[in-house]
Amino acid sequence: MAVVELNNVAKRYPGSGSKGAAANAVDDFNLITRDGEFIVLVGPSGCGKSTTMRMIAGLEANTGGEIRINGRDVSQVAARDRDIAMVFQSYALYPHMTVFDNMAFALKLKKYPGEDIQKRVKEAAEVLGITALLDRKPRALSGGQRQRVALGRAIVRSPQVFLMDEPLSNLDAMLRVDMRAEIIKLHRKLKVTTFYVTHDQTEAMTMGERIVVMKDGRIQQIDTPNTLYHCPANLFVAGFIGTPSMNFLKMTLGQHGMMLTGPTARLLASPERQDLSNHRGQTLWAGIRPEHLRPTDADDCAALLTGEVDVVEPLGAVTMVQMTVDGHRITAQLDGDTRVSIGDTLTLTCDSDQLHLFDTETELALPRTHAMSTTTV
Amino acid sequence: MEPKRSIGLAVVGWLVALIMFFPILWMILTAFKTEQTAFSMTPQFIFSPTLDSFRTALDQGAGYWHYALNSAITSVISTLIGLALAIPAAYAMAFFPSKRTDFTLVWMVSTKFIPAVGVLIPIFLVYKSLGLLDTDAGLIMLFAAMNLPIMVWMVYSYFKDIPRDIVEAADIDGAGTLQTMVQVILPLALPGLASTGLLALIFAWNEAFWSLTMVDHNAATLAPFIASFKSAEGLFWAKMSAASVLTVTPIIVLGWFAQRQMVRGLTFGAVK
Ligand SMILES: Nc1ncnc2c1ncn2[C@@H]1O[C@H](COP(=O)(O)OP(=O)(O)O)[C@@H](O)[C@H]1O
Ligand SMILES: [Mg+2]
C-alpha cells in the first residue's frame, strides 16, 4: 500500500524535439493519491496515459518533475526495485512457462521459500478461479483466462502499487463487464493503490474512485465520476465524459445575462448564476446532455431547440433522436414511448440548471455555483 | 487444368533438384570408382564399386582424423564464441535500440562486402607476428569474426520477435539483466539460436579460403585435406572425391538431424 505522488511530471521522447513544446508526451502532471485509492487515467488514444504509467513503473524515465512513492523519490530506482506490479494490455505472460511458473516467477526471484510460493500462488489462483489451469502454458488459455493469470501474477506479489494499462481491451464486451466488476472486487479486498488506464469513458466512470482525464499529454481534470459528469472543467471533458456525448451550440448571451440565443435556438441560463453578468453580449458554447432534453409542444418555454428529426433509434427503454439546430448536431435521449418519426419537426427543452456554459476562447467552463465542484484544471 | 499444371510443376521441380543434386551424386559415385574408371572419358554409371580410394584417402598426409579433428575444433569453438558475442550484441540492439542501431547493423553486414582476399596480406602479417599462423586459435578467431555479422543479424531478428512487453514484465517482476536473459529471452529464442549456431557451424566447417592460406600442417582442416589430393601428375579424382565425401558427410548428417529445429527457428512466430 502506498501513496503515489507525481509532481510536475513531464516526458519528452527523444526525437520529438523539433515540434516544440507541444512535443511533450506528458506535461505538468500533478497528482497525489490516497493510500489504497483506485485512480483511472482516461483520454483518447495517444494522450499520454501509457507514458504516465510507464514512468510510474520505471520503464521510462521522466524528463521533468518527480515521482514519489511513500515519500521516496524513485527517479533513480530501477523498475525491479519499485515494488510495483503491472498488468499489460497484451498480458505479456511468459509463453514458455506454465501458469504456476508465471505467477511464481517474481517470488522465485525474490528467493521466497518454496512452500511460501506454493501457498501464495494457490491462494491467488483460488481468488481468480484459475486453480485448474496452473499446469497449462499460456498458449492453451483463452483470452479471459490469460487476463486472470496476468492479474494473478500481479497480486501474488502483494506489491505497493498496481498498474493496469488497458487490461480489458482485448476481451469481448460481455467478459469485459464481468472482469471490470471482478477487478473492483479485488481492489476492495486488497486495498492496493491502483492506477488503471482506459480509453473507454464508461469503464472509467464505473471503476474510478477518482478519474484523471487527459488530452495531448495534459491533465484536463481530476475528479470523482460524479463531479466529472456534473461539473466538467472544460469543453473537452464535457464532450468526453458521458454517452452519448454532450450537445454543444454556439450562442450569444443576452444583455440581462440570462437568455442565450442562436439563429433559431433559445436557452435560459439558471437565474441564480450572477457570475454570468460579466459575459453579457458574448458568444459562448452552451452544452446540454442528451438525457436532459425532453420534447415540448408549447411555445411558452423559455428554452427551445427546434429542428427536423433525421435519425430515430428506438432502443426500448429510451429512444435516441438526432436533429440539426442552427447547424449543430443535437442528440436527445427521449422516453421509449415517445412517438417521433424522421422528418417530424421537434421542439426540445431543458431545465436551466442542466445547462453548461463554456468560454469559446479558453474552452473553460464558466464556473457554476455547484456544491459538488472541487474542480482542478 | 489444375492437376496438369501441378504435374508440370512437379516435373520442373524434379528436374531442377536433379541438376542441383547431380554433382553431389557424381562425387559420391566417383568416390567408389578406381582412378582409371573415374578418369574415363565416357561417363560410367555402372561399375564395380571399390573402397580403395577411401582407404588411401584416410591415410593421406597426417591421416583423415587429424584434419577432421581440426575442423571440428575450429568450427565448434568459433561457433560458441560467435554466439557468446552475438547474443549480448543483439540483446542490446533489440531491446535498447539507439539512434545508431540501424546503422550499426548495416555497417556490420557491409564488412562482408569486402572480398576476403582484400584483407589477406594485413591479416597474414598480423598473424605472423603474433604467431597465430597454422594454429587452431588463429582459425577460430577468423571463423568467429567471419560469421559474427550474420550471427548478430540473425539473433537480432529472433530477439526482435520477442514482444517487448514480456521483457518489461520480467523487469517489473524483479529480474535483472542476466536473469531476464537466461530465464526469459534465451528460452524463447532457443530455436532461433539453434539455427544461427548451425548455420555458423556449416559456414566454418566448409570454409576454404582462410583454411588454405593461414594454415600449413598443424591446424590444417578438411579443406586443405581435400586440396592436398590435387597433384600435377597421376590420377587423383577418385581419391579426392572420397575425401570430399568424408568431409561433407558429418556436416550433412548433423544438418539433417538439426533440420527440424532449424525449420522451426526459421519460421518466425515461434514465440507467439
Ligand atoms: N517510445 C516512444 N517514442 C516516441 N514517442 C512515443 C513513444 N511512446 C509513445 N510516444 C508518443 O507519446 C504520445 C503518448 O503516447 P502514449 O502514452 O502511448 O498514449 P496513450 O497510452 O494515451 O494512447 C503519443 O503521441 C505517442 O506517439
Ligand atoms: Mg496506451
The 10s digit of each residue's pLDDT in A312-328 is 999 999 999 999 999 99
A chain contacts of residue B98, beta-carbon cutoff 8 Å: none
| Residue A225 CA to ligand 2 centre (angstroms) | 21
Confidence of residue B265 (pLDDT cuts 50, 70, 90): low
Residue A375 has pLDDT above 60, yes or no: no
- The protein residue whose alpha carbon is closest to atom 3 in ligand 1 is A13
B139-176 per-residue burial string, b: 16 or more CB within 10 A, e: under 16: bbbbbbbbbbbbbbbbbbbbbbbbbebbbbbbbbbbbe
Cβ-nearest to B163 among A85, A92, A109: A92
- Give the nearest chain B residue to A57 (CA atoms): B172
- Give the nearest chain B residue to A139 (CA atoms): B272
Closest ligand to the CA of B99: 1
| Residue A26 CA to ligand 1 centre (angstroms) | 9
- What's the complex ipTM? 0.84
Residue A228 has pLDDT above 80, yes or no: yes
Indicate the length of chain A as a whole number: 377
Q: Using H for helix, E for strand and C for coil, what is the string for chain A?
A: CCCEEEEEEEECCCCCHHHCHHHCCEEEEEEECCCCCEEEEECCCCCCHHHHHHHHHCCCCCCEEEEEECCEECCCCCHHHCCEEEECCCCCCCCCCCHHHHHHHHHHHCCCCHHHHHHHHHHHHHHHCCHHHCCCCHHHCCHHHHHHHHHHHHHCCCCCEEEEECCCCCCCHHHHHHHHHHHHHHHHHHCCEEEEEECCHHHHHHHCCEEEEEECCEEEEEECHHHHHHCCCEHHHHHHCCCCCCEEEEEEECCCCCEEECCCCEEECCCCCHHHHHHCCCEEEEEECHHHCEECCCCCCCCEEEEEEEEEEECCCEEEEEEEECCEEEEEEEECCCCCCCCCEEEEECCHHHCEEEECCCCEECCCCCCCCCCCC
The string of pLDDT tens digits covering residues B163-195 is 999 999 999 999 999 999 999 999 999 888 988
A chain contacts of residue B174, beta-carbon cutoff 8 Å: 80-81, 106, 109-110
B180-201 per-residue burial string, b: 16 or more CB within 10 A, e: under 16: bbebbbeebbbbbbbbbbbbbb
B chain contacts of residue A158, beta-carbon cutoff 8 Å: none
| Residue B93 CA to ligand 1 centre (angstroms) | 21
Q: How many CB pairs under 8 A join A and B?
A: 60
Q: Which pLDDT score is estimated for B4?
A: 65
The string of pLDDT tens digits covering residues A53-71 is 999 999 999 999 999 999 9
Residue A357 has pLDDT above 70, yes or no: yes
- Give the nearest chain B residue to A155 (CA atoms): B173
Within 13 Å, how many C-alpha atoms sit on residue B25's CB side? Answer: 9
| Residue A44 CA to ligand 2 centre (angstroms) | 9
Closest ligand to the CA of A41: 1
As given in the structure block, the three cell numbers for residue B256 are 539433417
Backbone angles phi, psi at A77, to 5 degrees: -95, 130
Q: Which pLDDT score is estimated for A120?
A: 95
The answer to whether the Cβ–Cβ distance between B172 and A90 falls below 8 Å is no
Confidence of residue A367 (pLDDT cuts 50, 70, 90): confident
Considering chain A, what is the average pLDDT of its residues? 90
Q: Which pLDDT score is estimated for B268?
A: 42
Task: Please report the atom of ligand 1 found closest to the CA of residue A47.
Answer: 22
Percent of chain A at pLDDT > 90 equals 78
| Residue A45 CA to ligand 1 centre (angstroms) | 9
As given in the structure block, the three cell numbers for residue B54 are 577411401
- Give the nearest chain A residue to B177 (CA atoms): A80
Residue B88 has pLDDT above 50, yes or no: yes
- Helix H or strand E segment including B130: helix B120-130
The answer to whether the Cβ–Cβ distance between A96 and B169 falls below 8 Å is no
Chain B, residues 132-171, CB within 8 A of chain A, namely: 163, 165-166, 168-171
Confidence of residue A353 (pLDDT cuts 50, 70, 90): confident
- CA-closest candidate to residue A265, choices A224, A324, A194: A324
Confidence of residue B271 (pLDDT cuts 50, 70, 90): very low
Task: Please report the atom of ligand 1 found closest to the CA of residue A197.
Answer: 21
Residue A201 has pLDDT above 80, yes or no: yes
Cβ-nearest to B174 among A92, A93, A110: A110
Residue A172 has pLDDT above 60, yes or no: yes
Please say whether the beta carbons of A9 and A64 come within 8 A: yes
* Residues in A lying within 8 Å of B, measured between beta carbons: 14-15, 57-59, 78-82, 84-86, 88, 90, 92-96, 105-106, 109-110, 153, 157
Cβ-nearest to B188 among A81, A92, A95: A95
**Pocket-forming residues, ligand 1, beta carbon under 6 Å:** A 13, 16, 25, 43, 45-51
Q: How many CB atoms lie within 10 A of CB B231?
A: 10
When scoring A105, A146, A170 by the number of chain B Cβ atoms within 10 A, the one with the most, hence best to mutate, is A105
The string of pLDDT tens digits covering residues A69-122 is 999 999 899 999 999 999 999 999 999 999 999 999 999 999 999 999 999 999
Please say whether the beta carbons of A268 and A304 come within 8 A: no
What whole-number distance in Å separates Cα of residue A8 and Cα of residue A30? 5
Q: Which pLDDT score is estimated for A368?
A: 66
Residue B263 has pLDDT above 90, yes or no: no
As given in the structure block, the three cell numbers for residue A111 are 528467493
Please say whether the beta carbons of A141 and A130 come within 8 A: no
Q: Which pLDDT score is estimated for A16?
A: 63
Residue A374 has pLDDT above 80, yes or no: no
Residues in contact with A355: Cβ distance below 8 Å, sequence separation at least 6, in sequence order: A267, A268, A269, A270, A286, A287, A288, A303
This prediction's pTM: 0.83
What whole-number distance in Å separates Cα of residue A83 and Cα of residue B172? 8
- Give the nearest chain A residue to B163 (CA atoms): A92
The DSSP symbol for B117 reads G
Closest ligand to the CA of A166: 2
What whole-number distance in Å separates Cα of residue A217 and Cα of residue A203? 20
Cβ-nearest to A80 among B165, B175, B271: B175
The string of pLDDT tens digits covering residues B41-53 is 777 777 888 888 8
The answer to whether the Cβ–Cβ distance between A59 and B179 falls below 8 Å is no
Quote the minimal CA–CA distance from B39 to chain A in Å: 57
Please say whether the beta carbons of B63 and B217 come within 8 A: no
